[in-house]
Every structure is written in C-alpha cells, then in structure tokens.
C-alpha cells in the first residue's frame, strides 16, 4: 500500500486530494506541518506527499515553493480540487452564540468577505488545518465556537453545518502537487515546473519568457519566491505546458544561457481544472 504524507488530519482537503488522485488503496500519513511532510519523504518514511501549492482566491503558498526547492523534491503529478467551505458547530449552537471561529489560514482567506460581513467581531483563530479545527470544536465540546471546513469534516466530527458556500467566489480551486524524492519518467507528461534565477540586468527575465514563447510553449504560471538572506533577489518558478515535447526540450536548452541555478522540479501530466457552473 502506498504511504502518502499530508499536512492535516482525516477530513482535511489534503486527504480528499490524496484519495481522489490515487483512487486505489493508500495509507494516509498525517503531519502537523508542511515541513514534517518534507522530512518524512526525505527520510524515506513515505514514498509520496500531497501538498497544496496555490488557491484561486487566496493565491500561492509561498512557503511550499521554498520547501520543494530546499528538500529537492520532484513533482510527479498534480490535482485540482473544487473547494466549498462550510461553517460548522456542535449541535444546538446557533450563529449568535459564536465568539470564536477556527480554520486553516488559507481557508480563512478564502472566506474573508463572508467573515467580515457575518462575523466582524468574532475572534478568528488560525489552526493547523480545517479538519483539526472541526475536531477541536467537537472534542472540546465548544458551545461558543465554530470551524470552517468541508462537508466531510462536519460528518466525521458530528458537527452541524450552519452556513455553506462561504468562499468569496464559487470558482474556488486548490491545486495540489504530488511529490516524490525521485523524478519519474512519464510518457504522458505535457506540463513541467521549472525554477531558476536571473541576473539583475534589463531584459533578463523577459529573455527567458520570450524563449518559451518563440518555441510555442504556453506559460501557465509564474511565481517569484524571495531568496532568504539575499534581499531583492528571487527564484522564479514557472509552469509550462506543451503540445510538442521537442519544443519544450528546445526551449529548456535555449534558456540555459540566460539563467543560473536552473532546476526542473518535475515533468508530469497536467491536472484537469473542471469549472463548476453553479
């Protein structure tokens, strides 16, 4: 059975992502932080990790970009999950009773407008993950608190859903990366994640991007990540997709002269972002 590390506990969105991606029997290994997820892979205690990297409302999880690079992890796949947020509390607790709301920081960001309009004076507490927030409300039998998370969390921890669709926009997706210690050759690969640094001169980054354009390679994401200890310097992470592998390989070879510290983080099959019309 594959051992998959996630940040969070049963009922979290990470667990959902892991089970949807692998479909078959997996053993989910729960971790308290993204760093401990990376440590488990690094020490061969798990084969694979699932890690959120960006959300369509809250933006990128910058810390995770840095972890992937620092731990030399390889991206072997990705999955997009449609995220719906619910407000949940112990049975009998009404919205008027709520003085504290617990959730994961990225989940809180996705519900910022709702929280501002519905609970402007409530204490919002960031917690390890959404499911752990629901579990805390349940285990401590809190009667003046609620959690924000998914429907499965409410079911698992016997909480009542008080409100649904808390996210600022219904088109709310989180992209999760499938990570491994070693690269895997994939004949079906049509997407890659690459990172590099460029010098401080005009056109340095533009040259790299133009090279991809000239080779008909579609850039789907660019993210700058601060280099700690080097103020004003960044690592650029880009995701590219292709129809022709040959064009991608040509572009990659051509950018070598314009970048330093080039690293191919993974070549994998792109995940499908299925837009929900509701």
Ligand X SMILES: O=C(O)C(=O)C[C@]1(C(=O)O)C=C[C@@H](O)C=C1
Under the rule (CB under 6 A), what is the footprint of ligand X?
8, 12-14, 52, 55, 83, 104, 106-107, 129-131, 174
Q: Which residues pair with 2 in a beta bridge?
A: 26
Is the CB of 174 or the CB of 258 nearer to ligand X?
Answer: 174
- What's the closest the beta carbon of residue 186 comes to ligand X, in angstroms? 25
Distance CA 225, CA 247 (A): 27
Distance CA 55, CA 72 (A): 23
Inter-CA distances, 109 with 134, 232, 247, Å: 17, 27, 38
Q: Are 108 and 124 in contact (CB under 8 A)?
A: yes
Is the CB of 164 or the CB of 218 nearer to ligand X?
Answer: 164
Is the CB of 8 or the CB of 77 nearer to ligand X?
Answer: 8
Tokens 């895997």 map to which residue? 184
Of 23, 170, 156, 20, the C-alpha closest to 81 is 20
Q: Are 154 and 88 in contact (CB under 8 A)?
A: yes
- What's the closest the beta carbon of residue 220 comes to ligand X, in angstroms? 19
Is the CB of 50 or the CB of 189 nearer to ligand X?
Answer: 50
Distance CA 104, CA 91 (A): 22
- What's the closest the beta carbon of residue 25 comes to ligand X, in angstroms? 21
Distance CA 119, CA 8 (A): 26
Q: Which residues pair with 173 in a beta bridge?
A: 82
- What's the closest the beta carbon of residue 10 comes to ligand X, in angstroms? 10
- What's the closest the beta carbon of residue 115 comes to ligand X, in angstroms? 14
| Structure token pair of residue 63 | 């810390």
Is the CB of 86 or the CB of 237 nearer to ligand X?
Answer: 86
- What's the closest the beta carbon of residue 43 comes to ligand X, in angstroms? 22
Is the CB of 128 or the CB of 235 nearer to ligand X?
Answer: 128
């Amino acid at each position: 059975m594959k051992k998959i590390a996630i940040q969070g506990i049963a009922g979290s969105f990470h667990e959902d992502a892991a089970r949807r991606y692998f479909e078959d029997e997996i053993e989910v290994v729960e971790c308290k932080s993204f760093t401990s997820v990376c440590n488990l892979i690094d020490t061969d205690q798990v084969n694979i990790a699932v890690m959120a990297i960006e959300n369509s409302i809250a933006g990128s999880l910058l810390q995770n970009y840095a972890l992937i690079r620092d731990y030399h992890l390889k991206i072997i796949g990705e999955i997009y999950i449609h995220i719906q947020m619910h407000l949940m509390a112990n049975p009998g607790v009404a919205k008027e009773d709520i003085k504290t709301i617990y959730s994961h920081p990225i989940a809180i960001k996705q519900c910022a407008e709702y929280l501002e309009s519905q609970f402007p004076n409530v204490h919002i507490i960031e917690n390890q993950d959404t499911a752990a927030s629901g579990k805390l409300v349940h285990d401590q039998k809190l009667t003046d608190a609620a959690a924000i998370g998914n429907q499965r969390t409410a079911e698992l921890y016997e909480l009542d859903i008080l409100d649904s669709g808390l996210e600022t926009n219904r088109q709310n997706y989180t992209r999760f990366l499938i990570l491994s210690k070693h690269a895997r050759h994939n004949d079906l690969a049509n997407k890659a994640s690459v990172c590099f640094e460029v010098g401080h001169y005009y056109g340095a980054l533009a040259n790299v991007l133009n090279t991809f354009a000239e080779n008909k390679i579609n850039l789907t994401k660019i993210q700058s990540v601060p280099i700690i200890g080097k103020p004003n310097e960044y690592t650029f992470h880009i995701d590219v997709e292709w129809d022709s592998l040959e064009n991608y390989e040509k572009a990659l070879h051509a950018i070598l002269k314009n970048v330093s510290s080039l690293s191919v983080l993974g070549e994998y099959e792109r995940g499908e972002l299925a837009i929900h019309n509701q």
